[in-house]
Amino acid sequence: MLYPLIEKKKKVHIVKDLNSCACGLKYHSDLVIKRKTLKQIKFVEVGKVTCKKCASKLFSDE
């Protein structure tokens, strides 16, 4: 299964919505998300996530 992931602060996070990651980290500080930021989001296997908070959020929601 593929998830939208983004690399921030040398960790790979799960993108939750247009502002934040599953762990609560805001992955951009713009008023409206920029195309440049959107391009950083990649759909990859969830196994690539290196942020432990994101990974635990994902599995606790199930």
Residues that bind Zn ion (CB under 5 A): 13, 21, 23, 51, 53-54
**Minimal distance, residue 5 CB to Zn ion, in Å:** 9
Element (H, E) at 49: none
- Residue number with CB closer to Zn ion (3 or 23): 23
Q: Tokens standing for 33?
A: 């998300």
State the first-to-last Cα distance of the chain, in angstroms, to the nearest integer. Answer: 14
| Closest among 28, 9, 23 to 52, alpha carbons compared | 23
Least distance (Å) from Zn ion to the CB of residue 14? 7
Q: Smaller CB distance to Zn ion: residue 3 or 21?
A: 21
